[in-house]
Amino acid sequence: MPNNCAIDVSMMQRITIFILSIALLCGCGSSSDTDGKKTICVTISPLKSLVEEIVCGDYSVDVLVPKGASPESFEPTMKDLMTLNNAEFIYSTGLINFEQTLISSVENSERIVNLSEGIELMEGSCSHGHHHHKHGIDPHIWTSPRALQRMVKNIGASLPADSAKYHAAVDKLLDELNALDSLCSNSIDSANVDAIMIYHPAFTYYARDYNIEQISIEHDGKEPSPRQLTSLVEKARNHGITKLLIQPQYGKDKLSSLAMECDAEVVEVDPLSEDIIAEIKRVTTIICSK
């Protein structure tokens, strides 16, 4: 005897998928929000304030990855794809796993602006479970003021060439990032900082640009082994490290025993902060203070 409930549920699922697919294909409306502004999507929070400053309030800027979520494990939903298909532009690093799927999932993929263009990329072994980054490339370009300057230029180049106010905003932001670059360089040199120790290696480009070593506490998404812990304690002492950095999503308690062994303080830093310029300043202050 057939199971009518199972048939009804299956049919409803097919109908729902069909309706969502039609809505996605039709664009589900215009690319404007309720205020009449066209929408721009950015894949991660640190890109939002950059884009907002450059477009001078002419667009509504939405972030794809929700606050508190990990970009490495994020997978866009059908609703996310509908939002993306309604956007005037989509700005991404082009390096995080889910960003690679957008090219094949979004209509008119030429609207996707890859902000890593022109940046000398670095290899990285960073992974989370089964989520690896594009070709083993470290994606955290937004944590370096120098890489941010290139990203800002890429944003400006994607906007209408005849808009003087956008280009003026780009120049202003570049001046701010140039000042930040000088601040980081001078502070690190004055404090004789030669290494930072962080749970998840998110400051790879920052470390390269200021000639310091980034010592990662976790490896390939795994907790350090007893042997690795011993090595970390030795490195912390040799480099005079007094601050152990950790991202909010991991929790300070993960580093309590290591901090005790190193006689160091555990400090939260947020590479996914929406105000990435302010966060880079804060991180520089943290690592340069003894």
What class is the 189-288 domain?
A: alpha beta
How far is residue 54's CA from residue 32's CA, in Å, rounded to a whole number? 18
Residue 2's pLDDT is 45
Q: Which residue has the tokens 């998404």?
A: 221
Fold of domain 21-142: Rossmann fold (3.40.50)
Integer distance in angstroms from the first to the last C-alpha of the chain? 76
Q: Do domains 21-142 and 189-288 have the same CATH topology?
A: yes
How far is residue 159's CA from residue 167's CA, in Å, rounded to a whole number? 9
* Per-residue pLDDT in tens (0 to 9) along the chain, 290 residues: 444 444 343 444 343 334 444 444 444 334 455 467 899 999 999 999 999 999 999 999 999 998 888 888 888 888 888 889 999 999 999 999 889 888 778 888 889 999 999 999 998 754 443 334 445 899 999 999 999 999 999 999 999 878 899 999 999 999 999 999 999 999 999 999 999 999 999 999 999 999 999 999 998 888 999 999 999 999 999 999 999 999 998 989 999 999 999 999 999 999 999 999 999 999 999 999 97
Dihedral-angle region of residue 155 (phi above 0 means left; psi in -120 to 50 means alpha; beta otherwise): alpha
Amino acid at 284: T
> Structural domain boundaries of the chain?
21-142, 189-288
How far is residue 70's CA from residue 128's CA, in Å, rounded to a whole number? 10
How far is residue 86's CA from residue 107's CA, in Å, rounded to a whole number? 9
Q: Shortest CA distance to 206 belongs to which of 153, 94, 281?
A: 281
Beta bridge partners of residue 59, listed in sequence order: 38
Amino acid at 86: N
How far is residue 46's CA from residue 43's CA, in Å, rounded to a whole number? 9
Provide the 3-class DSSP secondary structure of residue 19.
helix
Residues 248, 217, 125, 221, CA torsion sign: negative
Could you tell me where the DSSP H helices lie in the chain?
A: 4-26, 46-55, 78-85, 97-105, 145-158, 164-191, 204-209, 226-239, 256-262, 276-288
Task: Output the pTM of the full model.
Answer: 0.84
How far is residue 123's CA from residue 139's CA, in Å, rounded to a whole number? 9
Pairing of the two strands 127-128 and 131-132: antiparallel
Two structure tokens written together for 96: 């995080």
Write the CB contacts of 67 (distance below 8 Å, at least 6 apart in sequence).
Answer: 45
